[in-house]
C-alpha cells in the first residue's frame, strides 16, 4: 500500500475516534455531574520495508492513545430541592454503595426511597462518613445539609455525607456516566490512587453541578472533524484514481 493511503487511513481512524468522543460528550451535556472526555494523541512512526527509497521507509502517523477527563467544576444550578447537593470543589466525590462495592459520583441529585433511605437517581444508597446508609422518617421534617456534609432535621442530626478527595482523578475507572471506582492495581503499578475523606467539602444544598461540556464548542469541533474527514476521504479517492490511471497506462504500454 502507498504511503499516502497509509497516512489517509490512519487519519480517518483518528477522526472517527474523535467523532465518537464528541458524540459522547454531547449526549451527556445535560447529565448532572458529567465530566467532559478529551482525546490524547501522539506521533507514531511506522516501518515500511517495501518502500523503494530509504527516505520512504518510515511513515509518521497520528495515533489516539488515550482519553482524559476535564475535571473543572460545572455550573452550579440552584434547584431549591433540599436533597439536591453540589460539590463546589474539583476532585471530590460522594460515596455510594453499589452491587460492585463502594463507588463515587459528583451527581448529587438524591432522593428518598419508599423506606426513607437516601439514594442516588440510579437507586444506590448514599453513604455517611461512617460508611452506612442514611435514613429519614416522616417525623423528621425539614432537611438541612450543611457545607461540611452534616445532615440534620427538625428532630436532630441524622449523620454526615461521606465526601472523599481523589489525588489522581484521571486514574479513576468510569463505570457509568457519573460513576467512578478506584482502579485495580497491577503488579509494579506505581500510580496508586489515594482516596481520603474530607472534613469540609464545600457542599451547596438545593443545587446541582451541571455537566461541564460546552455544547457550542463541541458542535464546532464536530463540524471541523466532519469536514476534515470528508477532505481526507477526497484525498484518498484521488490517490486511488491516480493509481488506477497509472495501472491502466502501464497496461496499455505493455500491450
Same domain as 176, residue 156: yes
For 85, residues 6+ apart whose C-beta sits below 8 A from its C-beta are 94, 108, 110, 145, 161, 203, 204, 205, 206, 207, 208
Laid out side by side, the sheet with 179-181 consists of 173-174, 179-181, 101-105, 92-98, 163-166, 195-197
Within this chain, do residues 189 and 114 fall inside the same structural domain, yes or no?
yes
- Do 144 and 200 have their domain in common? yes
> Do 100 and 188 lie in a common domain?
yes
Average pLDDT over residues 136-162: 92
Task: Record the pTM.
Answer: 0.78
Say if residue 97 is in the same domain as residue 116: yes
Same domain, yes or no, for 99 and 23?
no
In the predicted structure, residue 117 carries a pLDDT above the cut 90: yes
Q: What is the Cα–Cα distance from 147 to 138, expressed in whole angstroms?
A: 24
Q: Which three cell numbers stand for residue 234?
A: 477526497
6 pLDDT more than 80 = no
Count of structural domains within the chain: 2
What tens digit of pLDDT does each residue of 73-88 get?
999 999 999 999 999 9
**pLDDT band of 187, cuts 50, 70, 90:** very low
Q: Which domain holds residue 165?
A: 76-209
Whether residues 7 and 62 share a domain: the answer is yes
Residues 118 and 188 in one domain: yes
Write down the residue that cell numbers 478506584 correspond to: 182
- Neighbouring CB atoms inside 10 A of 19's CB total 15
Average pLDDT for 105-112 = 96
Amino acid at each position: 500500500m502507498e504511503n499516502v493511503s497509509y497516512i489517509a487511513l490512519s487519519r480517518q481512524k483518528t477522526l472517527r475516534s474523535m467523532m465518537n468522543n464528541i458524540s459522547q460528550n454531547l449526549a451527556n451535556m445535560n447529565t448532572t455531574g458529567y465530566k467532559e472526555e478529551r482525546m490524547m494523541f501522539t506521533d507514531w512512526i511506522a516501518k515500511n520495508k517495501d518502500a523503494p527509497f530509504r527516505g520512504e521507509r518510515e511513515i509518521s502517523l497520528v495515533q489516539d492513545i488515550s482519553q482524559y477527563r476535564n475535571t473543572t467544576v460545572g455550573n452550579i444550578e440552584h434547584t431549591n430541592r433540599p436533597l439536591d447537593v453540589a460539590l463546589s470543589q474539583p476532585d471530590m466525590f460522594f460515596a455510594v454503595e453499589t452491587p460492585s462495592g463502594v463507588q463515587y459520583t459528583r451527581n448529587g441529585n438524591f432522593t428518598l426511597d419508599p423506606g426513607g433511605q437516601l439514594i442516588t437517581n440510579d437507586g444506590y444508597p448514599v453513604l455517611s462518613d461512617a460508611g452506612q446508609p442514611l435514613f429519614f422518617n416522616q417525623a423528621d421534617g425539614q432537611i438541612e445539609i450543611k457545607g461540611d456534609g452534616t445532615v440534620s432535621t427538625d428532630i436532630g442530626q441524622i449523620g454526615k455525607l461521606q465526601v472523599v478527595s481523589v489525588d489522581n482523578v484521571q486514574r479513576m475507572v468510569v463505570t457509568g456516566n457519573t460513576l467512578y471506582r478506584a482502579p485495580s492495581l497491577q503488579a509494579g503499578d506505581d500510580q496508586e490512587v489515594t482516596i481520603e475523606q474530607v472534613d469540609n467539602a464545600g457542599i451547596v444544598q438545593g443545587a446541582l453541578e451541571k455537566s461541564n461540556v460546552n455544547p457550542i464548542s463541541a458542535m464546532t469541533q464536530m463540524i471541523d472533524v466532519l469536514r476534515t474527514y470528508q477532505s481526507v476521504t477526497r484525498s484518498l479517492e484521488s490517490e486511488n484514481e491516480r493509481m488506477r490511471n497509472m495501472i491502466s497506462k502501464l497496461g496499455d504500454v505493455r500491450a
